[in-house]
Chain A
């Protein structure tokens, strides 16, 4: 079973994000970049399926050279090879642009399953996976909590989280799955794994290698445009509920929740 995992690099979730002076981007100096946490679930699921069915796991990333580190991390976890699309023309690509690039990489590959994280934790659009499945014309199941591939490797059954319940969906392979937190517990890159990853192949491609032209991707090919980024409002000070007895405090709390917070 050949599995492709699409990977994005995002700022470490502990990084303090600052809006750049242009109000349309963030300050990237001193940011620590990591593999998107949802993509870690996708990598782990790919490795588990490989361990069960055999085959190869290929990691595909799009972005500047620094993304190599995240791809190598996935290789250190146990993936077999990596592909990075790195081209100055990619700057400013929207989700559809990224999906087009991924589709151009994938169309020449032999695969049974594509795994993506359900969304990048930086801009949170959550549509690259869906766009990619559409461009490839394959079934997609998003926000998956549990995945079962049939013994003969022909179909996939996925548990999908919906409001108040679980939806179980089946699709023929090849298909695209997007991973939700809870799908698995990703492994750490082990030290022997890190050493092995050094020798694993990692191809770097430009958009002309993929037969795309600059107008289809990057800022010029984007269908959406960021107008403004604003930091979230600062949290106000907390309030201590007054009252002589626990009963009185509870009554005052209920009153505040009803009259001020208007949530009950």
Chain B
């Protein structure tokens, strides 16, 4: 057994950590407060190479392994969830489907700009009435001559309505399968296509510095060749995309937990009550010990899932476990961390307040904790 990361992974971690501390930390709180997506930090993240990490160099990617992508996401999430969300969604949900299911022409057309961070892509899956029940997708596409005509809407779509969003992949119902279930197909819709509109959603509890949108398709016509993969492959593509996406949500939980722990340890060593730093009281030191232990477990689990993926072994079960565990560990860590900060932890001038809010999405997005438990139950043959 070898638990060590490569030297490149260590260099990557240090570089992304320094970047996040110096470039993102100073602006994260204000962006959260204003509920604003920053094109400046987006450009800086793109410049560092945080888009297209697992895409091969021929399409403008970095050609790195999945562990690298996860470490980078973890380090951004250690400082700010919103920026990590832009990266996780941009890579796993935006770039991923184009890279894994696009034909040569589509990859050459869309990936170089997406990997340089010049453009963002979004994955249109969730609908107002199709959350965990993705099979209930109502957005439909009908072939009319040489064009698909799409009607329907999507909700909670990350990166769908930024100024640099180049388009979305819309999971659409294109018919009914023999078994009576809907036939789902992925279709590429470029921004600017008549009948397609993306609206930014406001009033979020969390990830307020990231872009979340509603997508509307109203007799939206796209060329027949905008199919992403074969007709009917959409459901399978979605499941595979979410398997990978779960790792990046896991990375956000892990990084967020680490960030919360780092803040809690620092604060509780400095905060003096009854003449002693509060970290020295056993009731608090045990909280810190529990946090450190759980973070270590979360990291081992998540990295193992990445290792399985990088070594082309089945990783679905461990990915679901990693997503579930990392997001719940972050939940426990932010809870302890706010408690250790006392009244100050309830104030916006302390970043832990933002972490406490940002964490909640992780138990809901890209498969709720309940759905992860269903996935795991099936994979261990319990049901």
The interface of chain A, by Cβ under 8 A from chain B, is: 34, 68-69, 72-73, 76, 188-195, 197-198
Residues on A with C-beta less than 8 A from B63 are: 195
New A-B contacts (17) at CB < 8 Å, excluding given A73-B14, A190-B15? A72-B11, A76-B15, A188-B18, A188-B19, A189-B15, A190-B47, A190-B48, A190-B49, A191-B12, A191-B50, A192-B62, A193-B49, A194-B15, A194-B64, A195-B8, A195-B63, A195-B64
Interface of B is mostly: helix
- Check if B64 sits within 8 Å of A191, measured CB to CB: yes
Q: Which residue of A lies closest to B48 (CB)?
A: A190
Q: Is B7 an interface residue (CB 8 A)?
A: yes
Residues on A with C-beta less than 8 A from B19 are: 188
Residues on B with C-beta less than 8 A from A194 are: 8, 11-12, 15, 64
- Check if A76 sits within 8 Å of B49, measured CB to CB: no
Q: Which residues, 54 to 87 on B, are CB-close (under 8 Å) to A?
A: 57, 62-64, 68, 72
Residues on B with C-beta less than 8 A from A188 are: 15, 18-19, 48
Q: Which residue of A lies closest to B60 (CB)?
A: A192
Distance (whole angstroms) from the CB of A76 to the closest CB of chain B: 6
Residues on A with C-beta less than 8 A from B48 are: 188, 190-191
Q: Is B53 an interface residue (CB 8 A)?
A: yes
- Whole-angstrom CA separation of A194 from B15 in the bound complex: 10
22 A-B interface contacts by CB (under 8 A): A34-B14, A69-B10, A72-B7, A72-B11, A73-B15, A188-B15, A188-B18, A189-B11, A189-B12, A190-B15, A190-B47, A190-B49, A191-B49, A191-B50, A191-B53, A191-B64, A192-B49, A193-B49, A195-B8, A195-B64, A197-B8, A197-B11
Residues on A with C-beta less than 8 A from B18 are: 188
Residues on B with C-beta less than 8 A from A76 are: 11, 15
Q: Which residue of B lies closest to A69 (CB)?
A: B7
Q: Which residue of B lies closest to A198 (CB)?
A: B8
- Whole-angstrom CA separation of A72 from B63 in the bound complex: 18
- Whole-angstrom CA separation of A18 from B11 in the bound complex: 25
Between B7, B50, B64, the greatest number of chain A beta carbons within 10 A of the residue's beta carbon is seen for: B7
Residues on A with C-beta less than 8 A from B15 are: 73, 76, 188-191, 194
Q: Which 10 A-B pairs have the closest CB atoms?
A: A191-B49, A189-B15, A191-B62, A190-B49, A188-B15, A192-B49, A188-B19, A73-B11, A69-B7, A190-B48
Contact with A along B17-56 (1 / 0, CB 8 A): 0110000000000000000000000000001111001000
How many chain B residues sit at the interface, stated as a range, is: 20 to 34
Distance (whole angstroms) from the CB of A131 to the closest CB of chain B: 30
Residues on A with C-beta less than 8 A from B49 are: 190-193
Residues on A with C-beta less than 8 A from B68 are: 191
Residues on B with C-beta less than 8 A from A191 are: 12, 15, 48-50, 53, 62, 64, 68, 72
Q: Which residue of A lies closest to B72 (CB)?
A: A191
- Check if B62 sits within 8 Å of A195, measured CB to CB: yes
Q: Which residue of A lies closest to B8 (CB)?
A: A194
- Whole-angstrom CA separation of A68 from B8 in the bound complex: 11
Q: Which residue of B lies closest to A68 (CB)?
A: B7
Between A34, A68, A189, the greatest number of chain B beta carbons within 10 A of the residue's beta carbon is seen for: A189
- Check if B11 sits within 8 Å of A69, measured CB to CB: yes
- Whole-angstrom CA separation of A195 from B15 in the bound complex: 13
- Whole-angstrom CA separation of A76 from B89 in the bound complex: 26
- Whole-angstrom CA separation of A193 from B14 in the bound complex: 14
- Whole-angstrom CA separation of A44 from B18 in the bound complex: 16
- Whole-angstrom CA separation of A69 from B14 in the bound complex: 11
Residues on B with C-beta less than 8 A from A72 are: 7-8, 11
Distance (whole angstroms) from the CB of A199 to the closest CB of chain B: 11
- Whole-angstrom CA separation of A76 from B7 in the bound complex: 12
Distance (whole angstroms) from the CB of B273 to the closest CB of chain A: 15
Distance (whole angstroms) from the CB of A236 to the closest CB of chain B: 14
Residues on B with C-beta less than 8 A from A68 are: 7
Distance (whole angstroms) from the CB of A73 to the closest CB of chain B: 5
Q: Which residue of A lies closest to B17 (CB)?
A: A188
Residues on A with C-beta less than 8 A from B62 are: 191-192, 195
Q: Which residue of A lies closest to B12 (CB)?
A: A194
Distance (whole angstroms) from the CB of A239 to the closest CB of chain B: 15
Between B49, B50, B53, B64, the greatest number of chain A beta carbons within 10 A of the residue's beta carbon is seen for: B49
- Whole-angstrom CA separation of A69 from B18 in the bound complex: 16
Q: Which residue of A lies closest to B115 (CB)?
A: A192
Residues on A with C-beta less than 8 A from B47 are: 190
Distance (whole angstroms) from the CB of A10 to the closest CB of chain B: 14
- Whole-angstrom CA separation of A145 from B57 in the bound complex: 38
Distance (whole angstroms) from the CB of B307 to the closest CB of chain A: 19
- Whole-angstrom CA separation of A191 from B91 in the bound complex: 14
- Whole-angstrom CA separation of A197 from B62 in the bound complex: 12
- Whole-angstrom CA separation of A198 from B49 in the bound complex: 16
